Structure 1
């Protein structure tokens, strides 16, 4: 009995390590993708010609589009769904009403996301995660098969929305050009208040209120697939014993990785095709799954003292703190109230800067984790979720096991 318990605990620790390492790896890709937005803006990153790029910048920009963009945020979504399901199981095992605790967690993520987006940067994803969490409560007690079917159907629908002409009409192209020219001036040399005013009021797409509201309402539908896949994987207890499951992950890697890379490469090479958006969205999700299973295959084979695992794991354990700090660091580097390097350093230098920032975060994260166990934002989130100064759930014998 004792040996069986030790085995379960050992497998649980290995699962947590692998999941943390994959989460940390995804944060590196997210930083590289977001670096384009920090440098050129949400719209400017796809209009690189406005920033006089070098041939190297153009080449690496295409490489980032294929290898990174649209494929690392889905990894984070998958892990969010996976962690949500595991947290539910943990709360149920303690006799706690899981919906109450999860709802508090989602509410704080939503609040953090709104503040992050309003005060610092338009590329926030935390608010969407908070909203998505409430929607996922509808699926959390469903069978894995149901989650997978819904995820596949929504993935196809989402990818289908990418079909259509990729060419702008003349008026839209002129409007976008003027917006980017103004953004270079304001974001690179403006004060905090000037940048805020530009972010809140400038609209290159000339959208009215109705389309924006519709986008917000339907956002959970677009985001749901990878969250659902993560929940299904947790329900099926994948990654519980990564060493024994490596053959499965190798097969899935060989299935998803080449398919995702092929589709995204075709999307970039034939960007004018009406199918380009379909290939980019669909390929992005397939490549994300390929990366997940590749890491699940590779990481267990490395030594427990591996520097690679330690670096990714440290960042992954404090992913929320590190994600927000990336915004603080990069807006300070590129915006006018900081160093004002907006649109000036190029794509290649931006990639090198991403690696430097990530390396520093890995070192700091390892030190903070050894000393405090949680990052500062993670501790606040846990304190709010559990209404506990220790940031830990307290078993409640009087509470029912479900809500």
Structure 2
């Protein structure tokens, strides 16, 4: 059991590194600007780094986080059931806290927040918590196929669409380059998007967003019920097969986006490849736990144990570096140096996590989550007789 938990914590830390590298594009160029590098006139080295990030990193580390979210839901419920408590009550409070954290984070710090998505998908997953593992796997496959099919087909951009996007990117650049924090805040609160679409379409987007990330969450729940990662040495052959099978397929599909000039096919292939590569990374990283673990893996685990705190700190640090009210490097540093900066920040987070965990068991934001989830100032599970369980 201890080894399995170490693997999950290590994967959390590993995914945080990938998420930070991918998010560097958003911190530097904005959510939509990151897909329009021509607007920022990248140097040759930055163009290479940009394509590398798109193929090897972007869209393939957040799914790992979603997988781990589903895995943790089942393990959390099992812990509550061992203490003869009803899981849904605690989970609802947990998802509400994710919603509050995500709302504050997305409005006052950075719009690239994922905690709101955690909250939304969490409430949907309440429908699946007590289902058999086979049912979870079937639904994961069905939703994966359905959402993947949505990615195929060419989207024709009109001249008006192009102008709207260019105008939006310029407004975003101006807002985040401004030395006045109020300008960045006003831009985020405006809710403006570069699309000329009817209002009901945005409501549909909000409804369908949980379905897009549901497959990985369901797969994580299936993995938890199947006790994946509990016996790494015995599971080694499956890790190797998964790493090579999913990993290579994912890289080929994501690379096709830059090799084949057919948007009607490559967009969908990229989305599928991103998920496959995420699974390849999960199995590939798990191979490391089939041997004696060392300091490097321990470092990833320590960052993973403070995953919520480290995730939020990444946003605070990077917005302070790139936005105008901080160092003002928005759109100026470059992709290649951005990758190096991400690695430096992650190393600092390793050192911080190692130091912090010498004195405390859980991070400050994790502590708030526990207090709110269990309705206990100690942040511990309360049994029906009122006794607390660590």
Normalization by structure 1: what TM-score?
0.93
Distance 2:240 2:224 in 1: 19
Correspondence for 1:262: 252
Could you list the per-position Cα deviations for residues 297-326 of structure 1 after superposition, in whole angstroms to 9, with x for gaps in the alignment? 12332x33x121111101100000011011
Aligned residue pair count: 386
Displacement after TM superposition at 1:134 (Å): 1.2
**2:368 is matched with which residue?**
380
CA distance in 2, matches of 1:76, 1:156: 20
Task: Indicate how the Cα distance of structure 1 residues 176 and 295 shifts in structure 2: closer, same or farther if over 3 A, else same.
Answer: same
1:171 is matched with 160
Structure 2: 5+ residue stretches without partners: none
Distance 1:15 1:271, change over 3 A: farther
Structure 2 partner of 1:16: 5
| In 1, Cα distance between equivalents of 2:73 and 2:336 | 36
Deviates more, 1:386-395 or 1:326-335: 386-395
Aligned partners of 1:167, 1:352: CA distance in 2, in Å?
36
CA distance in 1, matches of 2:266, 2:237: 33
Matches within 5 A, 1:343-382: 343-382=331-370
SS in 2 for 1:124: coil
Contact 2:136/2:221, CA 8 A, preserved across alignment: yes
Q: Which moved more, 1:154-163 or 1:191-200?
A: 191-200
1:251 paired residue among 241, 257, 260: 241
CA distance in 2, matches of 1:354, 1:398: 45
| 1:274 alignment partner, SS class | helix
Distance 1:38 1:157 in 2: 31
| Residue number among 328, 340, 358 corresponding to 1:340 in the alignment | 328
Q: What CA distance in whole angstroms lies between the structure 2 residues aligned with 1:358 and 1:271?
A: 36
Partner of 1:316: 304
1:142 to 103, 112, 131: 131
Q: Which residue of 2 aligns with 1:6?
A: none
**Structure 1 residue 211 and structure 2 residue 211: aligned?**
no
Residue 148 of structure 2: which of 149, 154, 159 is its match? 159
Contact 2:179–2:326 (8 Å) recurs in 1: no
Match of 1:238 among 216, 225, 228: 228
The answer (yes or no) to whether the contact 2:15–2:65 under 8 Å persists in 1 is: yes
CA drift of 1:115 comes to: 1.0
**Cα deviation per residue 1:140-169 (whole Å; 9 max; x = unaligned)?**
111111111111111111111111225522
Identify unmatched segments of 5+ residues in structure 1. 1-11
Post-superposition Cα deviations, 1:218-270, rounded to whole Å, max 9, x if no partner, equal 11111100000000010011111112211121122222111111111112323
Asked whether the equivalents of residues 135 and 220 of structure 1 are also in contact (C-alpha less than 8 Å), the reply is yes
The answer to whether the Cα contact below 8 Å between 2:137 and 2:219 also exists between their aligned partners in 1 is: yes
Q: Distance in 2 between matches of 1:19 and 1:54?
A: 38
Give the Cα separation in 2 of the matches to 1:211 and 1:190.
34
TM-score (structure 2 length as normaliser): 0.96
* Cα 1:207–1:199 shift into 2, 3 Å: farther
* Contact preservation (8 Å) 1:382, 1:391: yes
Out of 273, 292, 301, which is 2:282 matched to? 292
